[in-house]
Structure 1
């Protein structure tokens, strides 16, 4: 299915105020589903030009992805990357797969938004957003603790992120 058809479907859902159904359609269309996913729910909108999504639930338990009602007012590539970020958290918090450290989870999710290793079907965002997500990845890398085991584990990916940011500057 192409982006034009997907946008037409999303517009129809939006027209009928079926935002949660549109989100389900999106994760199905881009093969983002996971057995630890408990569904979508609504969270408060931040503003007309910014959005926040969260994966909520205890570690090792099913996760709800909370989205703002205005999610489909944003660029589809950006929405897809934001949803994929949260769907990666759903996997990271799944039984038998739990990544305890929040900084590690966030670094992995922002890294995924840049390089699409887990979800290769997700398109790139604008250079502006790639730079923003790259800087967020580096922020979580720093929070892992100077010289920590986690920093050593992700040193190669950190270099990839830095190289990408430098290539976009």
Structure 2
């Protein structure tokens, strides 16, 4: 993927205040689309140095990904990983694919941000963000319940996350 070209496109979108179009361009360029995706909408900005994206819609229904208007003020690799996280939720909530447990959905999404198994074309983030996302994955793993069936299902991935965090520390 030619990041210089992508940044040129993104800057043109930003110049014309076409933030939703810029987000569509990115998911298309990085193969993040899914049939269960209902489009983008705006959500409130948290602050100039933090962002929150959400996938909204009932399980089994089309999902709308809500983004802040200042999304493209952040590092592109981070933005791509945040979009991939939400687009994984779009898939997880699709008919025939539904993952009902929120902790499982979040664990899978944070794991994806670290290892890019579903979206291999998404670039890596900084070590700082890898540690942050790894710790978030472990938090959702803990919430699955000590010794639960879900924890057993993800024990191997949990070990991968712990090893990555150790390597980065």
Give TM class, smaller chain: over 0.9
1:24 — aligned with what?
24
1:143 — aligned with what?
143
RMSD: 0.4
2:15 — aligned with what?
15
For residue 85 of structure 1, give the secondary structure of its aligned residue in structure 2.
helix
CA offsets per residue over residues 17-71 of structure 1, 9 Å max, x none?
0000000000000010000000000000000000000000000000000000000
CA offsets per residue over residues 131-151 of structure 1, 9 Å max, x none?
000000000000000000000
- TM-score normalised according to structure 2 size: 1.00
Structure 1, unmatched stretches of 5+, are none
Structure 2, unmatched stretches of 5+, are none
Displacement, 1:118? 0.2
Could you list the runs of 4 or more consecutive aligned residues of structure 1 that deviate by over 6 angstroms after TM superposition? none
Q: How does 1:1-169 map to 2 (within 5 A)?
A: 1-169=1-169
Displacement, 1:93? 0.1
- TM-score normalised according to structure 1 size: 1.00
Q: How many residues align?
A: 169
Alpha-carbon separation, structure 2, partners of 1:5 and 1:48:
25
Alpha-carbon separation, structure 2, partners of 1:122 and 1:14:
21
